[in-house]
Each structure stands twice: as structure tokens, then as C-alpha cells.
């Protein structure tokens, strides 16, 4: 099976099972590595001990030979006949280690009694062994089903003549039995440890994921019940689960606010659209009943429908602008002379003032960078809003001043004012302090929302100071461009 076919099958396994399999797999890999390393280390240690025993026995034999001595007689042919003194066999009777002495041609001369079960001839490699090789020749052979390790060294006279070979041997059955027992222990212990680890991992993963399951169930119940007011209980421990719970609760709070805002927005839009559409529908019905024969009535109804149509157009444009603000639209950045813009807004507001006095207060010459059309629209919205809420004979003042690192465009009026409880709500969409008056004057309830967005989009902010019955002052603060001295210093 290809890996891309097995991947969907593996992803269908529950996360708890996958976590258990992952933990168990890592444990098995670590256990295999430790077991193999332990087996190799023990095997090397045991064989090193055997080698030390063989070397020690060889040195012991040489000491015995030096103490007892070798006796030799000449055969008629002149060859030297060597044999071991009987005291040597009595002195060297180690049960695990056996010794053999061979002539130079490989003929066995004598051996210890414990080598009786094994036939250990001198290997051919020993005959070709270098005379200067002090470590001798180590060889492992199998005799009668038992592995035997042998160390073979030369025996030479003072003149360098080789008189024979000493072969010290030791069976490896105890070493192999120990390694086999260790291997069995490692396998059985590894299997049992893997089972215990698997069950423990399953239990721990289930316990660790239980809070997440509770969070999931609570979130699902909230979604099914459509009750965004509910919250997931936060655990006492301030760990990752606590952070996840806090994050989900914050997400639910934001969703609740967005959902409530959306519901209120839809309701407000529906309400705002219903009024002009109802007026237009009523006028059309009057026209159908024969009012078209009265020129004065027709003119009045056409004027009403024109005003309602203009109001709908303004509302749609404002909604489009606010929708663009939520998509992080990039505004233009161009030099804007605010004093010139203030005069333009003053001239455009003058025909709308009627019986309200409109004046210009402080007027500094200030240049900022931004979107001129949006700044003008925001200032116009503040001016229109001030004129709508200022009674006849009242006063509206447009001002431009420098305030620290900001340019301050302010609109002050002597209107009805805003209560403290309503100041945090006036920048919400479709909110009005006096709904009847603003609707009568053609307001859409979106002007201040646009003002706030324009100020924040330029890196500034908007403030309001008001007192009921005495008027309000709205101010737009736009950041000033950095001076050359400031930029060079930075």
C-alpha cells in the first residue's frame, strides 16, 4: 500500500489512539536501542573476561614452565623430545580452562585432564604464526556442539628456537547461556514493558484529552443551542488547557458581539429602509387613485420621493464606505491643506444652516497627509450632525488648531447635547440621540461611524465633549507629518 493511500486511513484513527501509537512506537524504538546496546555491551564484557582469563592462564603456564623446567632427550635421529613434568599437570587443574603443549610440528605432547571431552588439535594458522607476535593467536572453534575459545602462543629457547606451542582453551557455553538468558529477559521484559506503556499511554492520553473533550462537548452544545452567552468553565490549573479555554471564551464573546451587532445592524437597516420605501409606496398609491390630475399634489409627492430617494442613496453610499472600512481598504496619502478644506466645508454647510448661525473659529494653517475626500466627508458629517441637533438661533463653530503632534478639526454647537450614558453609543451604526429629529432631517445614523473610521484610518482619533442642554464639541485629531529635524534626529 502506498503511503498516500495509507495516510487517510491513519488520519481516520482517533487522536487518542494515534497518540498512544506514537508514544508506544517511540518507547519501542528506544527500548530496542537500549536492549541491543546492552546485549552488545554484555557480550563484549563477557568475551573480554574470557580473553583475560586465557591471557592470565597463559602467563601462569609460562611461570610454571620457568619454575619446573622442560626436560628433553635426544632421539637416535638427533631430534629433541619434549615433555611436560608431571608436576605441571597437578599444579594447573582449572576446571574451565584447559592447557595443551604441542611440539614445533604440531604434535600434541601433553594436556590438562579437563580437556578430555574436546579434541583440540593445533590449527594450521598457529604453525604460520609470526615468532614476534607476543599476543598470540585467538581462535574460536566448535567442538562436539560447544564453542571453544583458544589462545595459542609460541614457546622459544633463549637462542630463539621454537620448541613448541601452548594452547590455552576455554569453553564458551556459560557465556552463550548468559547471553541467551539476557536476550530472553530483554525480549520478555520489552514485550511486557511495551504492553504496560501502551496501556499507560492510553490511560494518560485519555485523561489528558478529557478536558479537551469537555471543551468540545460544551462548544458543540453552545452551537446547537445557539446560545453564545454561555461560556466554557475555566480549569483551575493555568496550563495549556486553561489558555485554550480562555481563547475559546474570548472567541465566543467576540462572536456574540458580532452576532448581536449583525442582528442589530440588519434590524436597523430594515427599519431605515422601510420608512422611505413606505413613503414612496404611499405616494405611488395616491397617484394611482387619480392624484396625477392635481399638479400641486403631484409636485409635492415627487418632492417627497426625491428626498427619500436621495436619503436612500446616501445610506447606500455610507454603508458601502463602512463595508470598505472593514476590508482594510488603503486610503490615499497626499498633502491636504486643512485650512482650505475647512473653508470649503463652511461654504457647503452655509446653505443648510437656515436659522442656525454658522461661524469659523480658530483657523491655523496646517498641512497633513491623507485622503482629502475622506477627511472632507468626515468634517461634513460633523457639521451636518451639529446643524441637525442645534435649534434655531443656536451657534455652530468650525475650528482648526494645532494640538501637540496632531491637527485638531473641531465642530462645536449649542444644541441639545448628549448624556454621559449615550456618549459611548453615538459612534455605533444607526444610533441617534433624537431619532425623530434626525429622521425628519434626513439623517441615516451612519455619519459618526464614518467619522470615527476616517480618523482611525489616518492614524488619529475622534473625541466628543458634551453637556445636556448646552451643546457638544466633536474633534478629529489627525497626526502631523514629521518635521525634517525630527526625522533626522530619529
Q: Where are the alpha helices (DSSP H) in 350-446?
A: 372-388, 435-440
Contact 168, 139 (CB under 8 A): no
The pLDDT value recorded for residue 35 is 92
Question: Which residues are CB-neighbours of 345 under 8 A, at least 6 positions away?
Answer: 376, 379, 380, 383, 398
Exposed (0-12), middle (13-18) or buried (19+): which is 417, by Cβ within 10 Å?
A: middle
Strand locations in 314-449, DSSP E?
Answer: 334-337, 357-363, 367-370, 395-403, 406-413
Distance of alpha carbon 237 from alpha carbon 416, whole angstroms: 53
What pLDDT is attached to residue 439? 45
| pLDDT by position in tens, the chain (length 490) | 454 455 555 566 777 788 888 888 898 999 999 999 999 999 999 999 999 988 888 888 777 666 655 554 444 444 434 444 444 444 455 567 888 888 888 888 777 777 666 668 888 888 877 655 567 888 898 888 888 899 998 887 666 677 788 888 888 988 999 999 999 999 999 899 989 988 888 888 888 777 778 778 877 887 776 777 777 777 777 777 788 888 888 888 888 777 776 776 676 667 667 767 777 787 777 777 766 677 777 777 777 788 778 777 767 776 676 666 655 666 788 899 999 999 999 998 888 888 899 999 988 899 999 888 889 888 988 888 888 889 998 999 999 999 889 999 999 999 888 887 777 767 776 565 554 444 444 455 677 888 888 888 888 999 988 888 888 999 999 999 875 444 334 4
The 3-state DSSP class for residue 354 equals: coil
Global pTM reads 0.49
User: Can you give the pLDDT at residue 404?
Assistant: 86
Paired with 367 in beta bridges are 337
Looking at residue 104, its pLDDT comes to 80
Pick from 17, 93, 15, 103: which is nearest to 61 by CA?
Answer: 93
Identify the pLDDT of residue 438: 47
What is the DSSP pairing of strand 98-102 with strand 80-83? unpaired
Taking residue 349's Cβ as centre, other Cβ atoms within 10 Å add up to 21
Euclidean distance between CA atoms 53 and 88, whole angstroms: 18
Domains of the chain by start residue, with CATH: 15-178 (3.30.450.20), 240-322 (1.10.287.130), 332-489 (3.30.565.10)
Closest to 335 measured CA to CA, from 478, 144, 167:
478
Given phi > 0 = left and psi -120 to 50 = alpha, else beta, which region is 398? beta
Note whether 430 and 265 are within 8 A (CB). yes
Q: What is the predicted pLDDT for the residue at 326? A: 59
Rounding to the nearest 10 degrees, give the CA dihedral for residues 33, 34, 35, 37: 80
Amino acid at each position: 500500500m502506498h503511503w498516500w493511500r495509507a495516510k487517510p486511513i491513519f488520519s481516520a484513527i482517533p487522536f487518542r489512539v494515534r497518540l498512544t501509537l506514537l508514544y508506544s512506537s517511540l518507547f519501542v524504538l528506544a527500548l530496542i536501542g537500549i536492549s541491543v546496546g546492552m546485549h552488545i555491551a554484555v557480550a563484549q564484557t563477557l568475551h573480554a573476561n574470557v580473553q583475560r582469563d586465557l591471557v592470565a592462564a597463559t602467563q601462569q603456564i609460562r611461570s610454571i614452565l620457568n619454575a619446573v623446567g622442560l626436560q628433553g632427550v635426544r632421539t637416535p635421529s638427533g631430534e629433541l623430545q619434549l615433555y611436560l613434568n608431571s608436576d605441571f599437570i597437578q599444579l594447573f587443574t582449572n576446571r574451565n580452562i584447559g592447557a595443551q603443549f604441542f611440539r614445533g610440528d604440531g604434535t600434541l605432547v601433553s594436556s590438562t585432564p579437563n580437556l578430555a571431552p574436546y579434541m583440540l588439535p593445533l590449527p594450521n594458522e598457529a604453525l604460520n604464526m609470526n615468532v614476534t607476535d607476543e599476543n598470540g593467536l585467538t581462535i574460536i572453534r566448535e567442538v562436539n556442539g560447544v564453542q571453544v575459545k583458544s589462545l595459542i602462543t609460541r614457546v622459544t629457547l633463549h637462542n630463539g628456537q621454537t620448541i613448541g606451542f601452548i594452547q590455552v582453551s576455554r569453553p564458551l557455553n556459560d557465556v552463550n547461556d548468559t547471553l541467551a538468558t539476557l536476550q530472553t529477559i530483554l525480549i520478555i521484559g520489552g514485550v511486557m514493558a511495551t504492553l504496560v506503556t501502551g496501556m499507560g499511554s492510553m490511560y494518560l492520553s485519555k485523561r489528558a484529552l478529557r478536558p479537551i473533550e469537555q471543551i468540545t462537548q460544551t462548544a458543540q452544545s453552545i452551537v446547537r443551542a445557539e446560545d453564545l452567552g454561555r461560556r466554557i468553565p475555566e480549569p483551575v490549573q493555568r496550563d495549556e488547557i486553561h489558555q485554550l479555554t480562555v481563547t475559546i471564551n474570548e472567541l465566543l464573546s467576540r462572536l456574540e458581539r458580532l452576532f448581536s451587532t449583525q442582528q442589530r445592524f440588519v434590524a436597523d437597516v430594515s427599519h431605515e429602509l422601510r420608512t422611505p420605501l413606505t413613503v414612496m409606496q404611499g405616494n405611488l398609491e395616491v397617484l394611482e387613485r387619480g392624484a396625477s390630475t392635481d399638479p400641486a399634489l403631484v409636485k409635492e409627492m415627487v418632492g417627497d420621493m426625491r428626498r427619500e430617494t436621495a436619503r436612500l442613496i446616501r445610506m447606500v453610499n455610507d454603508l458601502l464606505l463602512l463595508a470598505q472600512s472593514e476590508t482594510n481598504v488603503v486610503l490615499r496619502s497626499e498633502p491636504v491643506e486643512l485650512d482650505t478644506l475647512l473653508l470649503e466645508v463652511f461654504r457647503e454647510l452655509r446653505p443648510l444652516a437656515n436659522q442656525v448661525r454658522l461661524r469659523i473659529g480658530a483657523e491655523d494653517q496646517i498641512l497633513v497627509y491623507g485622503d482629502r475626500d475622506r477627511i472632507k466627508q468626515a468634517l461634513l458629517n460633523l457639521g451636518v450632525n451639529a446643524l441637525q441637533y442645534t435649534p434655531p438661533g443656536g451657534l455652530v463653530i468650525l475650528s482648526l488648531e494645532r494640538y501637540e503632534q496632531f491637527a485638531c478639526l473641531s465642530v462645536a454647537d449649542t444644541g441639545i447635547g448628549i448624556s454621559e450614558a449615550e456618549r459611548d453609543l453615538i459612534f455605533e451604526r444607526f444610533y441617534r440621540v433624537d431619532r425623530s429629529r434626525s429622521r425628519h432631517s434626513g439623517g441615516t445614523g451612519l455619519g459618526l461611524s464614518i467619522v470615527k473610521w476616517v480618523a482611525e484610518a489616518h492614524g488619529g482619533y475622534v473625541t466628543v465633549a458634551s453637556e445636556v442642554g448646552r451643546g457638544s464639541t466633536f474633534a478629529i485629531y489627525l497626526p502631523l507629518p514629521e518635521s525634517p529635524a525630527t526625522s533626522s534626529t530619529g
